[in-house]
């Protein structure tokens, strides 16, 4: 079986309310566009009926649908990684399942790729998210510009297209905490960006809490830069120099003015400030060390419970030396696993 030109990779976590409309619009958009395609849905350990809906959809369009059922929630970026390891297209497009990225825009990304680029990013025109998310994103974009060499206008938009060479490079990375658009950018030789439309979430709520957004941004900053650590060393050097100066002044005052005991609260202020700085530094180092710890344990990044795909694709894929995470499941086992997810 020949590989399709376009693979669309869709991570799904508790999206049952929006999936029927996603299917309707996504298949229609791809059929209208006319390129040969496959759609890879990754169920990221959803606890609602998403897996059952995906299985139904697979049965409806087995020719172009492939479903990867992860055993537990591994996070959006790991789910996409699982999709990358299974996709076969020359051009691979990632898109969110909540219809914030209109599926009708995929065609424009593919057209741009056909001009010879190896990475097409996207910039959300009139982003439809809360004001807090928009401001926080802008600040994070700016921080990333300063501390990494990655140039992206809108890092948070996951509607992106990648060429096979980049997907292969990403598949050869085994990092446990990552940020896919940034990782892809580090391998890109000819990247570009286009503007795309953005819509409000069709159903349900964002799957990112404030805490998980902060974690994700730490993944981005620590995964692609050592600059935060270096800045911290600089601050440390600065503070040491200032305190040396301070000690000198105090010594002179002791000699020329005699013993003094004023300024106790100023001293408290300075000590607390320095304590805060030290704790921040320890936390920052902890962010790096924690990720090193996760990485060195070599646990699987995600576990695949089952893959629903046509048998000829499975054979095809195995021949194409795609790395396997779990032993491929036979048809009967895959069906049983799908039952468990139903
Ligand atoms: N998602 C996922 N695993 C997660 C969190 C999110 O697969 O742990 C998927 C989610 O189903 C959606 C996409 O990632 O398709 C983007 O998530 P969401 O729309 O909640 O993020 P936001 O648009 O708020 O950044
Ligand atoms: Mg969304």
pLDDT digits (tens, 9 = 90+) for 191-203: 999 999 999 999 9
* Residues 6 or more apart whose Cβ sits within 8 Å of residue 100: 128, 198, 199, 200, 201, 202
Q: Which residue, 156, 188, 193, is CA-closest to 169?
A: 188
Q: Do 309 and 164 share a structural domain?
A: yes
pLDDT-derived band at 339, boundaries 50, 70, 90: low
Q: Do 283 and 156 share a structural domain?
A: no
Query: Does residue 218 lie within any of the structural domains?
Result: no
Predicted TM-score (pTM) of the model is: 0.88
User: How many CB atoms sit inside 10 A of residue 41's CB?
Assistant: 31
| Greatest distance between any 2 Cα atoms in the chain | 90
Residue 233's domain comprises 227-296
- Placement of tokens 């969110």 in the chain: 96
Q: Which residues surround ligand 2, an ion (CB under 5 A)?
A: 96, 98, 100
Measured distance CA(49)–CA(69) in Å, rounded? 12
The SS3 of residue 93 is: strand
Ligand 1 atom with least separation from CA of 80: 7
User: How many CB atoms sit inside 10 A of residue 174's CB?
Assistant: 12
pLDDT of residue 329: 41
Answer yes or no: is the C-beta of 16 below 6 A from any ligand 1 atom: no
Where do the H-state alpha helices sit in 176-263?
A: 180-187, 210-224, 227-257
CA distances from 322 to 55, 74, 108, 185 (A): 23, 20, 28, 22
Pairing of strands 37-43, 65-70: parallel
Q: What is the DSSP letter of 302?
A: -
pLDDT-derived band at 116, boundaries 50, 70, 90: very high
pLDDT tops 50 at residue 331: no
Q: Do 231 and 287 share a structural domain?
A: yes
Q: What is the Å distance from ligand 2's center to 102 Cα?
A: 11
Partner residues linked to 92 by β-bridges: 7, 162
* 13 alpha carbon, closest ligand: 1
Looking at the 3D structure of the chain, how many domains does it have?
Answer: 2
Q: Do 304 and 285 share a structural domain?
A: no
Q: What is the Å distance from ligand 2's center to 76 Cα?
A: 11
């Amino acid at each position: 079986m020949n590989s399709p030109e376009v693979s669309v990779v869709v991570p799904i976590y508790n999206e049952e309310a929006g999936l029927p409309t996603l299917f309707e619009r996504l298949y229609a958009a791809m059929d209208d566009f006319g390129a040969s395609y496959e759609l890879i849905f990754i169920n990221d350990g959803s606890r609602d009926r998403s897996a059952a809906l995906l299985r139904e959809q697979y049965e409806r369009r087995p020719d172009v649908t492939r479903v990867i059922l992860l055993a537990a929630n591994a996070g959006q970026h790991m789910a996409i990684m699982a999709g990358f390891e299974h996709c076969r297209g020359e051009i691979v497009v990632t898109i969110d399942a909540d219809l914030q990225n209109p599926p009708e825009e995929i065609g424009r990304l593919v057209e741009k790729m056909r001009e010879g680029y190896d990475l097409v990013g996207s910039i959300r025109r009139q982003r439809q998210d809360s004001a807090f998310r928009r401001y926080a994103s802008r600040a994070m974009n700016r921080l990333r510009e300063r501390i990494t060499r990655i140039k992206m206008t809108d890092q948070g938009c996951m509607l992106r297209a990648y060429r096979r060479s980049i997907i292969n490079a990403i598949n050869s990375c085994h990092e446990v905490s990552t940020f896919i658009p940034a990782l892809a950018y580090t391998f890109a030789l000819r990247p570009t960006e286009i503007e795309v439309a953005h819509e409000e979430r069709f159903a349900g709520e964002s799957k990112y809490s404030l805490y998980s957004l902060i974690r994700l941004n730490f993944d981005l900053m620590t995964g692609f830069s050592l600059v935060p650590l270096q800045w911290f060393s600089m601050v440390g050097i600065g503070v040491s120099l200032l305190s040396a100066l301070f000690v000198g002044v105090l010594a002179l005052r002791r000699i020329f003015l005699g013993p003094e005991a004023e300024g106790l609260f100023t001293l408290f202020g300075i000590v607390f400030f320095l304590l805060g700085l030290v704790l921040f530094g320890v936390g920052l180092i902890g962010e790096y060390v924690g990720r090193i710890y996760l990485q060195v344990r070599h646990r699987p990044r995600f576990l695949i419970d089952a893959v629903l795909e046509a048998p000829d694709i499975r054979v095809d894929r195995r021949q194409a030396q795609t790395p396997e995470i779990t032993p491929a499941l036979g048809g009967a086992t895959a069906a049983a696993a799908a039952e468990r997810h139903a």
